[in-house]
Chain A
């Protein structure tokens, strides 16, 4: 039974999605199933995480086809950490959706598609086969297309056209890269590829393939100069959808980048230089973009781009300390970004606007909620001891170690600008005097909705804030986790051995 343990999170999401389809029109039942299912999923993920933590990397060969011939599923510490984070964010957004997404939208299969999205994410983290990764990416983007268009407002459809086009292009570039890689090596298994790519004579072609992967995943993770679809689309759907997109969708691109560039294309100075340069530009352009926006959700969209830079810069420096910093940042960023978009949803629900100019007086009217929102906002800035502070120590140490002073400058600059942006946001939304906002007659304001809905909106924000506080105050534990992941990633032989030397048990 323990052989297939790592597939449980995957199968549970699939089961949930299918089960929800049987309740297509009954949204009350869907809400309950989705929330309960997500709680169970979190429990299962914690269980599997504990098992991997104690027993090391586990693999499953689909249909007992021995690697490298069949499809491999592998859970090392990195993959299972991502699965755990997915289920934490998934639970929060599931509850938040039940409270905040209007039933006109839920009626068109919101919850089943939402769980298909989580299924795709879980699959992408667990797979050990590059083509299978492509298939999971497609499941993710098809679900995300539906979620971004559900409701069909003008801005949504316009955002969706841009989002669709760029993501389709990214998939095609990814597919092209897989085709070239298969032509070079005749293999699709990532561990097998790691061995075979190292032996390929034609280094120029390997480098070009690596660049194709970089572009494909770069579009998905919104790296400079490929990020323009993100601020054009992430603020258009309901905030629950933005929350899961902002928290997890770009991060799966980062996960794929880290996986491919630590396992298959390693020890390539040229590529590391490119990654560093891209990361520095991503940090600068994201930060400066956030500075001039007026819509809260657009500010957060640009901050997503900016903070992707921290993870890529860690990958670019390619030392154990730097990668540990990048992983820690990834953990922190998923929790905080998901939470921030939910916070923007709550503000919108209360005031009926997300414009910085129109908002104001939040602190005077809602002191307790403001205090709650303080946690994710200032965790993002990284005021010690909140969670954003700790990974930057590792990243800055690493940039001294590698003598990469441009990276150092970019890290400090971006975190300074993040501080300015959040301070500006705090001053505008919370401290400024309340402004007159025209009342929308049909809009369901926070004080008009039922108490149960209000709880459903507040609870996930509290939940994620608690987890964020844990990441900040229990940084020691996360640092241990990140260090272990980084050492596993640097020493990729462990991964290769785990896949290729598995004994098939009946």
Chain B
């Protein structure tokens, strides 16, 4: 399971960065989404995957007796998902707006900011 996840994370990072390096604005957004998901899966993987052991202390004892799934990474991922959702929706609107104003989706033609003024 860990190996499979590690490979998937690698692919997501690679594909995300590859897409971000393309010149098209839409591919940029796809890259952002892939990269965000890759990072979330990485947190999940590095929090150690423990199957079928919820972090609940049985009624008769006061401490954990056996291995349990760490709940912290899941809380982190939840936060990170919400944040990247917000950022992605902002990115989509920004790109739509930029496309409307600049009238191109080629990043190479967006050079008004480098003009001498």
Please list the residues of chain A having a beta carbon within 8 angstroms of any beta carbon in chain B: 131, 135, 138, 142, 145, 149, 152-155, 157-162, 164-165, 168-169, 171-172, 175-176, 178-180, 182-183, 186, 188, 232-233, 235-236, 294-295, 354-355
Contacts and interface: CB of A to CB of B under 8 A. Distances in A.
A176 B87 contact: no
B72 A232 contact: no
Contact of B112 (A158, A180, A188): A158
Nearest to A131: B76
B117 A294 contact: yes
Contact of A175 (B32, B72, B80, B90): B80
B20 A169 contact: yes
Contacts of A188: 72
B11 interface: no
B33 to A, nearest CB: 11
Contact of A180 (B25, B46, B97): B46
Contact of A157 (B79, B80, B94): B94
A430 to B, nearest CB: 20
Given A138-B83, A157-B98, A164 B113 contact: no
Which of A145, A157, A169, A355 has most B Cβ within 10 Å?
A157
Contacts of B79: 131, 135
Contacts of B70: 186
Which of A152, A164, A295 has most B Cβ within 10 Å?
A164
Interface residues of B, number: 38
B15 interface: no
B80 A164 contact: no
Contact of B42 (A145, A179, A354): A179
B116 A182 contact: no
A142 B87 contact: yes
Nearest to B13: A176
B46 A145 contact: no
Contacts, number: 96
B113 A162 contact: yes
A168 B87 contact: yes
Nearest to B111: A158
Contacts of B110: 158, 161-162
Nearest to B90: A145
The secondary-structure label for the interface of chain A is: helix
What are the 8 tightest A-B residue pairs by CB atom distance, in nearest-first order? A183-B46, A179-B43, A157-B98, A158-B110, A179-B42, A175-B39, A232-B113, A155-B112
A179 B107 CA distance: 31
Given A145-B90, A178-B43, A233-B113, 8 more contacts: A158-B98, A158-B102, A162-B113, A164-B90, A165-B28, A168-B87, A179-B42, A183-B45
A235 B117 CA distance: 11
Contact of B95 (A142, A161, A172, A233): A161
B47 interface: yes
A435 B90 CA distance: 42
Nearest to B79: A135
A182 B43 contact: yes
Nearest to A175: B39
Contact of B102 (A157, A175, A186): A157
B52 interface: no
Nearest to B47: A182
Interface string B84-112: 00110011001101100110000100111
Contacts of B90: 142, 145, 164
Given A155-B113, A157-B101, A161-B110, A179 B25 contact: no
Contacts of A179: 39, 42-43, 46
A157 B28 contact: no
6 contacts: A135-B79, A138-B83, A165-B20, A176-B39, A236-B113, A354-B117
Nearest to B35: A172
